């Protein structure tokens, strides 16, 4: 097995880690954690140290590491079919998964188009939206609009519709920039304004834009209810209702990027349900396989599918990825959906969320925090600090206290797997405050 030191050194030599300034690993600014195994909410290194995975390994893990039910499904699938190309072939896991996803959208969104990660799902939705208008004789509708502070991935297409400077600025010359609309961020309320008022104010700007530019606009893309990588920005479902109305009125597609917020994260299975709407395109990934294997999917309304259905090959959607619809990933997804039903997860999460809010009160009331907020199984709080090193200091202090928390700028957030015990929740809340106190200079 080797020890931590051995794996750290070899990893720094052989691996280019994602979203990382590699020098920070060698200088200790950003400690690299060698993980030997995981069980439940815990990750273990080679020397027996443990870390509570309070951010679900970048928001993917729903039911804990090494989950016995997902493991069993994968072992069974391994002996049947590991992979087959999806162009020209099909298999039972992908058919069953597609049928069940359709059912979860109440039969409104279907014709599941698969890829491997969130960014490629978003790319597919953008391409499909444009191609829909092209096939409908309206190729001039080729621009996209998005929200200030939005995040949709790291590929060139998704950076162009994203708005997080750190990831995007250097690549600006390569990007086809979308137009940004004000975020309905509840924190921006003027005195006396409610979250609904903020939503209406932001939607009024969207309306002004669409009035003038709807003829060149293909789609409006949003992260429903919570803008994740932009700082766990939360907003009222009213904004989605208004956006849906405006997109309908101006013949513009509404793309809901639920890569982060899908699968119960915001308290409902899909976040858009809270606005009682359906998008034209729905992008899913992360929690889809319970955090086990790469898989993403784009679901669309029938009218989108119909616009591609033709004798001419070029009117079809000719996009593909080699691992599209991998059977193992689909079985992990099916096992994940089974757990939602067997364990009545959405209801259990509601009870957990109430308890965890109470446990987080000391953090919410801490003299150096502000804007404590919660949406379903996501909690966030902003820290009163201008110090750009705070983020890394907090990360290191939390790790010392056996907790994996990775602030976004000066925002600490919690996005735990859905299987935390009361004891683990208590430990997490307590250690977060301790880590905060230890990291403030
Ligand atoms: C809302 C949203 N969309 C898209 C993505 C990109 O997903 P991936 O990292 O799997 O490419 C992310 C990743 O964090 C995300 O949060």
> Which residue puts its alpha carbon closest to atom 3 of ligand 1?
152
- The segment(s) of the chain belonging to CATH 3.40.640.10 are 71-342
Helix (H, G, I), strand (E, B) or coil at 249: helix
Residues within 6 Å of ligand 1 by CB: 117-119, 122, 151-153, 223, 228-229, 257, 259-260, 285
Q: Is residue 325 within 8 Å of 94, Cβ to Cβ?
A: yes
What is the Cα–Cα distance from 434 to 426, expressed in whole angstroms?
13
pLDDT of the chain, 441 residues: tens digit per residue: 568 889 999 999 999 999 999 999 999 899 999 999 999 999 999 999 999 999 999 999 999 999 999 999 999 999 999 999 999 999 999 999 999 999 999 999 999 999 999 999 999 999 999 999 999 999 999 999 999 999 999 999 999 999 999 999 999 999 999 999 999 999 999 999 999 999 999 999 999 999 999 999 999 999 999 999 999 999 999 999 999 999 999 999 999 999 999 999 999 999 999 999 999 999 999 999 999 999 999 999 999 999 999 999 999 999 999 999 999 999 999 999 999 999 999 999 999 999 999 999 999 999 999 999 999 999 999 999 999 999 999 999 999 999 999 999 999 999 999 999 999 999 999 999 999 999 987
**Residue 440, pLDDT score:** 86
Q: ∠384-387-390 over CA atoms, to 5°?
A: 85
* Mutate which of 61, 118, 168, 296 for ligand 1 pocket (most atoms within 8 A of beta carbon): 118
**Residue 5, pLDDT score:** 87
What is the Cα–Cα distance from 295 to 280, expressed in whole angstroms?
20
**Residue 291, pLDDT score:** 98
Buried b (16+ CB within 10 A) or exposed e, 61-91: bbbbbebeebeebbeebeeeeeeeebeeeeb
Listed in sequence order, the residues at least 6 apart from 152 whose beta carbon sits closer than 8 Å to its beta carbon are 118, 119, 122, 146, 158, 161, 162, 221, 223, 257, 259
Pick the CATH number of 71-342 from 3.50.50.60, 3.40.50.300, 3.30.2010.30, 3.40.640.10: 3.40.640.10
> If you measure from the C-alpha of residue 119 to the centroid of ligand 1, how many angstroms do you get, rounded to a whole number?
6
> If you measure from the C-alpha of residue 226 to the centroid of ligand 1, how many angstroms do you get, rounded to a whole number?
13
- Residue 261 alpha carbon, nearest atom of ligand 1: 1
Q: Model pTM?
A: 0.98
> If you measure from the C-alpha of residue 209 to the centroid of ligand 1, how many angstroms do you get, rounded to a whole number?
26
C-alpha separations of 8 from 17, 23, 34, 48, 158 in Å: 12, 13, 6, 15, 32
The two tokens of residue 354 are: 């109430």
The two tokens of residue 314 are: 């070029």
> If you measure from the C-alpha of residue 150 to the centroid of ligand 1, how many angstroms do you get, rounded to a whole number?
11
Residue 135: φ, ψ to 5°: -65, -20
């Amino acid at each position: 097995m080797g020890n931590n030191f051995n794996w750290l050194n070899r990893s720094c030599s052989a691996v280019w880690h994602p979203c990382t300034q590699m020098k920070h690993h060698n200088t200790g600014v950003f400690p690299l954690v060698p993980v030997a195994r995981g069980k439940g909410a815990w990750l273990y290194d080679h020397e027996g140290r443990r870390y509570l995975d309070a951010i679900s390994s970048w928001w993917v893990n729903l039911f804990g590491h090494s989950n016995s039910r997902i493991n069993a499904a994968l072992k069974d699938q391994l002996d049947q079919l590991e992979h087959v190309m999806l162009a020209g072939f099909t298999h039972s896991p992908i058919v069953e998964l597609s049928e069940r996803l359709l059912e979860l959208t109440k039969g409104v969104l279907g014709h599941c188009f698969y890829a491997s990660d969130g960014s490629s799902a978003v790319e597919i939705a953008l391409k499909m939206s444009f191609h829909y208008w092209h096939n409908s004789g309206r190729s001039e509708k080729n621009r996209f609009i998005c929200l200030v502070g939005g995040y949709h991935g790291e590929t060139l297409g998704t950076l162009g519709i994203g708005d997080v400077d750190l990831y995007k600025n250097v690549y600006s010359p390569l990007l086809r920039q979308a137009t940004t609309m004000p975020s309905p961020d509840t924190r921006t309320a003027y005195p006396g304004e409610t979250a609904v008022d903020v939503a209406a104010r932001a939607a009024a700007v969207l309306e002004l834009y669409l009035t003038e530019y709807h003829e060149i606009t293909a789609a409006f893309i949003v992260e429903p209810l919570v803008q994740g990588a932009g700082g766990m920005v939360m907003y009222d479902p009213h904004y989605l209702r208004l956006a849906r109305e405006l997109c309908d009125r101006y013949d513009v597609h509404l793309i809901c990027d639920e890569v982060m917020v899908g699968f119960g994260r915001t308290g409902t299975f899909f976040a858009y349900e809270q606005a009682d709407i359906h998008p034209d395109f729905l992008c899913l990934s992360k929690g889809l396989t319970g955090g086990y294997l790469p898989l993403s999917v784009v679901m669309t309304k029938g009218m989108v599918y119909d616009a591609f259905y033709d004798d001419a090959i070029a009117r079809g959607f000719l996009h593909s990825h080699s691992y599209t619809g991998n059977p193992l990933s689909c079985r992990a997804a099916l096992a994940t959906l089974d757990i939602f039903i067997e364990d009545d997860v959405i209801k259990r999460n509601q009870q957990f969320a109430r308890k965890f809010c109470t446990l987080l009160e000391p953090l919410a009331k801490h003299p150096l925090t502000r804007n404590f907020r919660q949406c379903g199984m996501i909690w966030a709080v902003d820290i009163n600090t201008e110090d750009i090193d705070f983020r890394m200091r907090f990360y290191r202090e939390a790790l010392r206290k056996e907790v994996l928390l990775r602030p976004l700028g000066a925002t600490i957030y919690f996005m735990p797997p859905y299987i935390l015990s009361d004891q683990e929740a208590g430990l997490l809340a307590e250690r977060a405050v301790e880590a905060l106190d230890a990291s403030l200079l």
